[in-house]
């Protein structure tokens, strides 16, 4: 055994002895304050929960249950918690930053237009937008993670006698529609009982629309929500639509036969593709779009997801009536430009789709009109066409304008997707997050929230990063450095409206599997309701790019104050078994 290997093994063998020795001074001081003769009784712990953890409703029974849960530890003292057991509790799974016991606790009885909804884009793709396989597997994976909106692009098969799902006019290999529908039926309510919306991008002839109608009705049966031929005057609530499937699509185009990609188009798309994202993905661009224009080629948006206007002469007049009755959330762009698109009809509701670039442009001149539109109607935002590698965009541009369906490529990875995952950790992970009141209410003269307004600071979030642990268990011991322990630092910050957005970082601690930073940061927040706490752990590498050490993103509106154990996640958003940070969260 080499001297270095011996040193690493020795570090591991001393792990549990080192735990208390490395407890931050503030943790030791708090233990001394809330204990007597080195023992924290249930009464002491109860007071700690109320005064430090800000759990005003905590009961003595809850404190007793925490102590009971630690009895299996060899370090446990029969009269209560000693310092080591207290430290284990703070760093344990029963002390998370979000209250998981609350489940779906937002008011779920408002119209679905009052919620942000966890939304997928091209949900059937396994990889890039041009040549990956189409499959029901990514659909299943998305549903298991709580995604509530699944997008399917439906096309005739080569014989024109059946329906396939694929990304049209690309080299993606198709999957049968019926297979996707059956998988949705089986997995729709695994993670959440709230409704699943299927958005269809329709490229079918009326006879195949009739076939789809039969597939959908036979597959979903009574779980299908169908309002019939009447237009909805207001959307139903998520509560009333529990365990229901909803179909949303636009008046179908005249069928356009799918052809192979032209050489010119193929070359153009390849030239526009952003480079593959690194482990981290690009840093989130600001909401003015300037960063994004430097990161992506600044070309006109070339998406073709939306139909021409309903009055377009190419639209078929004989829409299959049984298919039309399936459409609970009608979609489409009316003729007449942006003003016409954003008109609010008091007698019916609908869905409008804009690309990220179209929304960004519209927000410059019609920000308040977009907010007013989304109070009753649904706005879906989708990635621009040059994101052929299935990257994503800053979702805040949609959320701060009230957009319910900010559609993401769930098979990708990187910071934008981590933000999406963070937003939908709120409300018990049910896939529906109630929009803040300021996006839903109008003033006495009909005025609505102005996304461009400069607002005063509402509150300040203080984040103290104490320490981290768990990398030794979840990573190979030579993963970061072949001959020495890792050199970790933490980036911590806020994703939110432009005034609130920013990142800071700790110092780098060299050669330490259990780093103790003990550094505090303050983040003034003007719109805390839309803010997300972003945390990333990096491992400094002098000669190469810094290594990935974990990340998490959490909704600020649901953070629990006090000292909390923050589990970290991998690039795809899967939680590590052991890696956590110990932090203190406080609002002032």
Percent of the chain with pLDDT over 70: 84
Percent of the chain with pLDDT over 90: 76
Q: What is the mean pLDDT of residues 487-502?
A: 97
- pLDDT attached to residue 267: 41
* Strands 405-408 and 378-382, sheet pairing: parallel
Where do the H-state alpha helices sit in 377-427?
396-399, 415-423
pLDDT in tens, 561-586: 999 999 999 999 999 999 999 999 99
pLDDT tops 50 at residue 414: yes
Question: Please, are residues 241 and 225 in contact by the beta-carbon 8 Å criterion?
Answer: yes
Question: Measured between alpha carbons, how far is 33 from 224 in angstroms, rounded to an integer?
Answer: 58
- pLDDT attached to residue 231: 80
Q: What is the mean pLDDT of residues 217-243?
A: 92
Catalytic pick from 44, 46, 167, 477? 167
| Residue 16 pLDDT level (bands cut at 50, 70, 90) | very low
Catalytic pick from 44, 106, 121, 401? 121
Q: What is the mean pLDDT of residues 234-258?
A: 79
- pLDDT attached to residue 52: 98
pLDDT: which is higher, 1 or 119: 119
pLDDT tops 50 at residue 47: yes
Q: What is the mean pLDDT of residues 15-37?
A: 82
Please state the φ and ψ torsions of residue 91, each to the nearest 5 degrees.
-90, 5
- pLDDT attached to residue 74: 56
Among 384, 385, 359, residue whose Cα is nearest residue 374: 359
Question: The tokens of 329 are what?
Answer: 């959330």
- pLDDT attached to residue 72: 77
pLDDT in tens, 465-477: 999 999 999 999 9
Q: Check if 121 is active-site.
A: yes
Q: What is the mean pLDDT of residues 353-375?
A: 97
pLDDT tops 70 at residue 501: yes
Question: Measured between alpha carbons, how far is 485 from 324 in angstroms, rounded to an integer?
Answer: 62
Q: What is the mean pLDDT of residues 144-165?
A: 97
Question: The tokens of 558 are what?
Answer: 């649901």
pLDDT in tens, 286-325: 654 433 333 332 223 334 454 433 333 343 445 678 888 8
Q: What is the mean pLDDT of residues 188-201?
A: 97
pLDDT tops 80 at residue 546: yes
H or E element in which residue 120 lies: strand 115-120
pLDDT tops 90 at residue 462: yes
Q: What is the mean pLDDT of residues 329-344?
A: 90
Positive or negative: CA dihedral 181, 182, 184, 188: positive
**Which of 23-32, 45-54, 77-86, 373-382 is the least confident region?**
77-86
Q: What is the pTM of this model?
A: 0.89
- pLDDT attached to residue 298: 27
Question: Measured between alpha carbons, how far is 278 from 28 in angstroms, rounded to an integer?
Answer: 40
pLDDT tops 80 at residue 276: no
> What mean pLDDT, rounded, does the chain reach?
87
pLDDT tops 50 at residue 7: no
Q: Check if 105 is active-site.
A: no
Cα 407-118-419 angle, rounded to 5 deg: 80
Cα 56-59-61 angle, rounded to 5 deg: 160
Question: The tokens of 358 are what?
Answer: 């179209």
pLDDT tops 90 at residue 75: no
């Amino acid at each position: 055994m080499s001297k270095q290997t011996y040193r690493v093994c020795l570090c591991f063998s001393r792990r549990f002895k080192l735990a208390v020795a490395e407890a931050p001074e503030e943790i030791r001081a708090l233990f001394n304050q809330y204990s007597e003769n080195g023992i924290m009784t249930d009464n002491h712990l109860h007071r700690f929960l109320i005064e430090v953890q800000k759990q005003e409703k905590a009961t003595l029974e809850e404190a007793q249950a925490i102590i009971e849960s630690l009895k299996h530890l060899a370090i446990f003292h029969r009269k209560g918690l000693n310092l080591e057991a207290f430290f284990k509790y703070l760093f344990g799974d029963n002390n998370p930053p979000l209250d998981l016991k609350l489940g779906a606790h937002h008011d779920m009885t408002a119209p679905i237009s009052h919620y942000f909804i966890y939304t997928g884009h091209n949900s059937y793709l396994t990889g890039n937008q041009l040549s990956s396989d189409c499959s029901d597997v990514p659909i299943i994976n998305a549903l298991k993670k709580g995604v509530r909106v699944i997008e399917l692009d439906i096309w005739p098969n080569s014989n024109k006698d059946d329906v396939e799902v694929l990304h049209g006019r690309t080299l993606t290999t198709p999957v049968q529609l019926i297979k996707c529908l059956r998988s949705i039926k089986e997995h729709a309510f695994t993670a959440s009982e709230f409704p699943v919306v299927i958005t269809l991008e329709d490229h079918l002839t009326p006879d195949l629309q009739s076939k789809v109608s039969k597939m959908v009705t036979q597959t979903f049966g009574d779980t299908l929500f169908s309002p019939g031929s009447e237009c909805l005057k207001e959307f139903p609530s998520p509560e009333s639509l529990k365990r229901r499937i909803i179909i949303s699509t636009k008046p179908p185009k005249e069928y356009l036969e799918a052809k192979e990609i032209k050489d010119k188009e193929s070359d153009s798309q390849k030239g526009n593709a952003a480079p593959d994202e690194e482990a981290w993905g690009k840093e989130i661009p600001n909401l003015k779009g300037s960063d994004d224009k430097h990161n992506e080629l600044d070309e006109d948006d070339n998406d073709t997801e939306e139909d021409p206007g309903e009055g377009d002469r190419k639209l078929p007049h004989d829409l299959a009536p049984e298919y039309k009755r399936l459409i609970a959330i009608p979609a489409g762009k009316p003729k007449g430009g942006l003003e016409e698109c954003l008109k609010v009809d008091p007698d019916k509701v609908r869905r409008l789709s804009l690309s990220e670039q179209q929304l960004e442009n519209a927000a410059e001149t019609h920000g308040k009109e977009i907010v007013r539109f989304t109070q009753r109607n649904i706005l879906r935002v989708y990635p621009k066409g040059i994101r052929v590698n299935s990257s994503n965009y800053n979702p805040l541009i949609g959320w701060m304008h009230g957009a319910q369906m900010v559609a993401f490529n769930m098979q990708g990875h990187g910071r934008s997707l981590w933000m999406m995952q963070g937003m939908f950790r709120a409300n018990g992970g049910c896939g529906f997050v109630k929009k803040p009141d300021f996006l839903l209410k109008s003033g006495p003269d009909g005025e609505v929230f102005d996304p461009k307004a400069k607002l005063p600071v509402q509150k300040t979030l203080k984040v103290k990063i104490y320490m981290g642990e768990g990398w030794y268990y979840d990573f190979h011991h030579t993963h970061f450095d072949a001959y020495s322990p890792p050199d970790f630092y933490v980036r911590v910050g806020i994703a939110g409206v432009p005034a609130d957005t920013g990142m800071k970082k700790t110092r780098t601690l060299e050669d330490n599997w259990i780093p103790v930073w003990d550094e505090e940061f303050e983040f003034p927040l003007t719109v805390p309701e839309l803010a997300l706490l972003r945390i990333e752990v990096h491992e400094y590498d002098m000669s190469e790019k810094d290594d990935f050490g974990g990340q998490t993103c959490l909704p600020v509106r649901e953070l629990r104050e006090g000292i909390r154990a923050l589990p970290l996640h991998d690039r795809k958003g899967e939680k590590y078994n052991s890696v956590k940070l110990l932090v203190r969260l406080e609002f002032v």
